[in-house]
Amino acid sequence: MQRRHAAILLALTLVALPSTARAQMISPMLYEGPRIALEDHANRFSSSKGETRADAQPAVNPAALRYTPSKTRRSANLAAFVQKTRARDPKGADDLQKVFAEGDFIERIGGLVASQGLHIDNVADAYALWWLTAWHAARGDNDTPPPEIISAVQAQAARVVLATGEIARASDAQKQELAEALWVQSALIDVAVEQAKQDPARLRQIGDAVRQGAKGMGLDLDAIDLTSHGFVPAGAG
């Protein structure tokens, strides 16, 4: 696998965050609103092609995945993220607030993930990157899969999100809130893993926090494997 998730380039801006603060931010997702909560998430995957049962459902316009970003909403979303973090870790919240004040954090992520074919205004693309980042973090690494696997997970994430009618029908504001929570979480997870590479105990702690956050999204990271077709039930690939 090639190295590493594009979000790791944000390490220079996140390096000041204490490792304990990053763990608090990673767990839980710190997001309230429409969720991609699929009780039988793992069972939605085909064991051979990584396709979801959503393929058998009436088609939903893929345009439902996109939203028109609002700078005002973005400021409010990041402020809310800081505020929720403050309840768990005041010092970490202060550090995160400083990072967000240095420029448009989401736009910086957008510029980095564009090279992977991901769009900052697409809620499924945000889910795809978070899905990949979380799965790898649960296994103690932050490697970036080859482009074909990223594309497979991107398409798979679109099907999963479209099958979650609550997301497809959500307002632009709700989609933006979910997407930006996922973009931020992906960056935090990636940097936390990178900085814990020489500390196995710390990597396990981060992996546990990521698993907890994923379960809040209806996803058991230990129940799936990553293949050339995307995610499949564990043992089926």
pLDDT band at residue 118 under the 50/70/90 scheme: very high
Handedness of CA 130, 133, 135, 137 (dihedral sign): negative
Whether 167 maps to a domain, the answer reads yes
Whether 24 maps to a domain, the answer reads no
Residue-wise pLDDT for 98-114, tens only, equals 888 888 999 989 988 99
Contacts of 199 (CB under 8 A, 6+ apart): none
- The answer, yes or no, to whether residue 8 has pLDDT greater than 50, is no
* 18 vs 114, residue with greater confidence: 114
Pairing of strands 224-227, 230-233: antiparallel
- DSSP state, 112? H
- Taking CA atoms, 91 is separated from 18, 167, 168, in Å, by 9, 33, 36
Report yes or no: 52 and 44 within 8 Å, Cβ to Cβ: yes
- The answer, yes or no, to whether residue 96 has pLDDT greater than 50, is yes
* 83 vs 44, residue with greater confidence: 83
The domain tally of the chain equals 1
Which range marks the domain in which residue 70 is found?
6-16+32-233
Mean pLDDT, to the nearest integer, of 208-213? 87
- DSSP state, 229? T
- At 133 the pLDDT is 93
Whether 22 maps to a domain, the answer reads no
Whether 133 maps to a domain, the answer reads yes
pTM over 0.95: no
Whether 27 maps to a domain, the answer reads no
User: What residue spans of the chain are helical by DSSP H?
Assistant: 11-14, 19-26, 71-86, 90-101, 105-113, 123-138, 147-163, 165-168, 172-195, 200-216
Question: Largest alpha-carbon pair distance within the chain?
Answer: 48
Whether 68 maps to a domain, the answer reads yes
> CA 155, CA 2: separation in Å to the nearest integer?
20
Report yes or no: 202 and 19 within 8 Å, Cβ to Cβ: yes
Whether 25 maps to a domain, the answer reads no
Whether 127 maps to a domain, the answer reads yes
At 38, is the secondary structure helix, strand, or coil? coil
Residue-wise pLDDT for 146-179, tens only, equals 999 999 999 999 988 888 778 878 899 999 999 9
